[in-house]
């Protein structure tokens, strides 16, 4: 299948070819025809599948054809609402890249920065607006943005929106949208509250689902280190020094933890940056820029800050802490293994996190292999029954028991795989 076979018009085909896209990804193949037909869409897909282009291309095409028929009026005709600033910036960049020969204009608004440059852009007139919910409502209330000409609305990462407490904002935004419009709704997961929300927004949607959670999980090589909480810093240093890690995104559950990791690495002369919501927008963008350009190879992030990070060539995701929500694990490891690349996800699991690991393995439907050859194995794997000193396994026992089920994934073959990916 080619983009041409999907009836994409020439100015967009040229831009896609400039981006190096030779063929549509599965979500694009499924969504584009539906959207070009004007149908509402409910998409179950996560970042990394090419979902941005899946909605941006048909919106651009529809707007372009519409514009040719109806003159050149610059009113906001397409609205994309997304939970984080980073994601918003990237989506706007995608619209600009795919639409560069269409003459259509897009801009992005998000909070945490001065509104002046954003309102200047809006005043000049735009066709497509990408926004985070809070700033969008703010600028609507101030009269800078009107939604009355919206023909296309996209709610992106709906599950994250709800996790981040944006439900009231979303409801307010939806209430201001014209009834006559084409609506798109994307979410990586479809729990009942998301399905209910989608019903309020969408007419009679067509559904596409391209990424059952397992897809990413299967593509990314995963391994687990059982390690005590106090040994995690040393284990991380050990890995960064001994493994061939080209670029790593390290997840910390807390902002405080992220800063602590950066400090610890700095002490060991390892350059690293952190992004989380306590940092200014400028500092976050600088950190992300340095990471993307390869100047800084290690980025520590909290889950919310990491939502929009889109780095091609990300070789490793390291879960310094395991998330308590299993879907978050899948989101995290989906940062590596983007588009057609493969990646490695390494996770640290301390005694308290074993229950999280169990939930994660259940969700992805596979057991994550343990790396046993490491200097800080946690011997708290088996909790000794009270009053019975003999009834629990020694570390030796547990190791040999585990190695039977490790599926042959040991440090050596892990290294070989890293090497072969690097040399591609
Ligand atoms: P997304 O899921 O929208 O975040 O996209 C994930 C990554 O895939 C981004 O880096 C896109 O630039 C890239 N991508 C999207 N569509 C294609 C395509 N058809 N061919 C190659 N790469 C793509």
Domain harbouring 110, CATH code: 3.40.50.300
Per the domain annotation, does 418 fall within a domain?
no
Strands of the sheet containing 316-319, edge to edge, are 272-275, 298-301, 248-251, 316-319, 344-349, 221-226, 369-370
List all residues 6 or more positions away from 403 whose beta carbon is below 8 Å from its beta carbon.
372
**Greatest alpha-carbon span in the chain:** 83
Q: How many Cα atoms occupy the beta-carbon half-sphere of 115 within 13 Å?
A: 17
Whether the pLDDT of residue 413 is over 50: the answer is no
In a domain, 421, yes or no: no
- Tell me, yes or no, whether 155 lies in a domain: yes
Average pLDDT, the chain: 84
Yes or no: say if 349 and 402 are a contact pair by the CB < 8 Å rule.
Answer: no
Q: Which residue has the higher pLDDT, 264 or 324?
A: 264
Residue 394 pLDDT: 29
pLDDT in tens, 78-114: 999 999 998 999 999 999 999 999 999 999 999 999 9
Q: pLDDT value at position 210?
A: 80
Per-residue pLDDT of 350-399, as tens digits, reads 999 999 999 888 878 788 999 999 999 987 654 444 444 333 232 333 33
How does pLDDT run across 207-246, given as a tens digit for each residue? 998 855 445 656 789 999 999 999 999 999 999 999 888 8
Mutational test site, ligand 1, from 25, 50, 97, 338, max ligand atoms within 8 Å of CB: 50
Among 228, 109, 279, 377, smallest CA distance to 287 is for 279
134 in the same domain as 16:
yes
Q: What share of the chain is helix, strand, coil (3-state, %, to 5)?
A: 45, 15, 40
Domain interval for residue 362: 213-413
Q: Does the structure show a pLDDT above 80 at 409?
A: no
For ligand 1, atom 14, name the residue with the nearest CA: 50
Pocket test for ligand 1, best of 31, 52, 313 (most atoms within 8 A of CB): 52
For residue 47, tell me if it sits in a domain. yes
Give the C-alpha separation, 16 to 10, whole Å: 10
Q: Give pLDDT, residue 334.
A: 80
Task: Give me the percent of the chain exceeding a pLDDT of 90.
Answer: 61
203 in the same domain as 222 = no
Q: What is the pLDDT of residues 279-330, one digit of tens each?
A: 888 888 899 889 988 899 999 999 877 766 767 778 899 999 999 888 788 8
> Domain total for the chain?
2
Mention every residue, 6+ apart, whose C-beta is less than 8 A from residue 314: 247, 248, 249, 335, 336, 338, 343
Distance 48 CA to ligand 1 centre (A): 6
Q: State whether 174 and 253 are in the same domain.
A: no
Q: Which residue, of 180, 209, 238, is where some domain finishes?
A: 209
Pair 198, 307 in one domain: no
Q: State the average pLDDT over residues 154-168.
A: 92
Model confidence at 47: pLDDT above 90 = no
243 belongs to a structural domain:
yes
Is 357 found in the same domain as 272?
Answer: yes
In-domain check, residue 424:
no
Same domain, 89 and 226: no
Q: Is the pLDDT of residue 116 over 90?
A: yes
Residues 168 and 259 in one domain: no
Same-domain check for residues 93 and 108: yes
Last residue of a domain, one of 191, 209, 227: 209
394 shares a domain with 334: yes
Q: Does residue 16 sit within a domain?
A: yes
Please name which of 20, 12, 1, 50 lies closest in space to residue 208, comparing C-alpha atoms: 50
pLDDT at 375: 94
Asked if residue 106 is part of any domain, the answer here is: yes
Q: Between 380 and 60, where is the model more confident?
A: 60
- The answer to whether 156 and 87 have CB atoms below 8 angstroms apart is yes
Q: Is the same domain home to 205 and 313?
A: no
Q: Which protein residues are within 6 Å of ligand 1, measured from CB? A: 21, 24-25, 28, 47-53, 310, 312, 338-339
Residue-level pLDDT at 292: 86
Q: Which of 25, 184, 330 to mutate to test the pocket of ligand 1 (most atoms within 8 A of CB)?
A: 25
- State how far the Cα of 132 lies from the Cα of 53, in Å rounded to an integer: 19
Q: Residue 92 C-alpha to ligand 1 middle, in angstroms?
A: 14
Least confident residue range of 5-19, 144-158, 314-328: 314-328
pLDDT value of position 22: 86
Distance separating alpha carbons of residues 419 and 424, to the nearest angstrom: 9
The two structure tokens encoding residue 315: 């070789």
C-alpha to C-alpha distances, 346 to 74, 329, 422, nearest whole angstrom: 48, 11, 17
More reliable by pLDDT, 212 or 14: 14
Report which ligand 1 atom has the smallest distance to the Cα of 23: 19
Report the half-sphere exposure of 350 (CA within 13 A, side-chain side). 11
Domain boundary among 182, 209, 236: 209
Residues of the chain above pLDDT 70, percent: 84
- What average pLDDT does range 103-127 have in this prediction? 95
Q: Say whether both 306 and 327 belong to one domain.
A: yes
């Amino acid at each position: 299948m080619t983009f041409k076979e999907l009836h994409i018009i020439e100015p967009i085909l040229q831009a896609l070819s400039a981006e190096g896209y030779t063929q549509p990804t599965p979500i694009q193949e499924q969504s584009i025809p539906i959207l070009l037909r004007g149908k509402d869409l409910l998409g179950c897909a996560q970042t990394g599948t090419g979902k941005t282009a899946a909605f941006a291309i048909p919106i651009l095409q529809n707007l372009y054809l519409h514009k040719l028929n109806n003159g050149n009026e610059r009113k906001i005709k397409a609205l994309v609402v997304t939970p984080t600033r980073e994601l918003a910036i990237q989506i706007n960049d995608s619209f600009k890249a795919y639409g560069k020969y269409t003459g259509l204009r897009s801009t992005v608004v998000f909070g945490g920065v001065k509104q002046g440059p954003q309102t200047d852009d809006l005043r000049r007139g735009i066709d497509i607006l990408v926004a985070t919910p809070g700033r969008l409502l703010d600028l609507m209330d101030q009269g800078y943005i009107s939604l009355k000409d919206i023909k296309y609305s996209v709610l992106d990462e709906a599950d994250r929106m709800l996790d981040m407490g944006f439900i009231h904002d979303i409801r307010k935004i939806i209430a201001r949208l014209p009834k006559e419009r084409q609506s798109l709704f994307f979410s990586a997961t479809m729990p009942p509250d998301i399905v209910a929300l989608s019903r309020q927004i969408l007419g009679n949607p067509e559904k596409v689902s391209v990424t059952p959670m397992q897809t990413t999980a299967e593509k990314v090589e995963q391994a687990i280190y059982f390690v005590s909480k106090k040994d995690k810093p040393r284990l991380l240093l050990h890995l960064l020094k001994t493994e061939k890690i080209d670029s790593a995104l390290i997840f910390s559950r807390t902002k405080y933890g992220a800063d602590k990791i950066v400090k610890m690495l700095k002490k060991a002369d390892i350059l690293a940056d952190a992004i989380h919501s306590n940092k200014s927008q400028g500092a976050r963008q600088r950190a992300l820029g340095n990471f993307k350009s390869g100047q800084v190879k290690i980025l520590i992030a909290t889950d919310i800050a990491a939502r929009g990070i889109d780095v091609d060539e990300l070789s490793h995701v390291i879960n310094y802490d395991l998330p308590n929500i299993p879907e978050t694990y899948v989101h995290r490891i989906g940062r590596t293994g983007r588009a057609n690349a493969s990646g490695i996800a390494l996770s640290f699991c301390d005694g308290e996190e074993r229950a999280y690991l169990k939930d994660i393995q259940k969700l992805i439907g596979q057991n994550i292999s343990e790396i046993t050859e490491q200097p800080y194995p946690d011997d708290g794997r088996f909790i000794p029954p009270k009053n019975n000193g003999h009834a629990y396994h020694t570390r030796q026992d547990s190791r040999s028991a585990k190695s039977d089920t490790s599926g042959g994934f040991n440090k050596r073959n892990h290294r070989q795989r890293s090497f072969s990916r690097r040399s591609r």
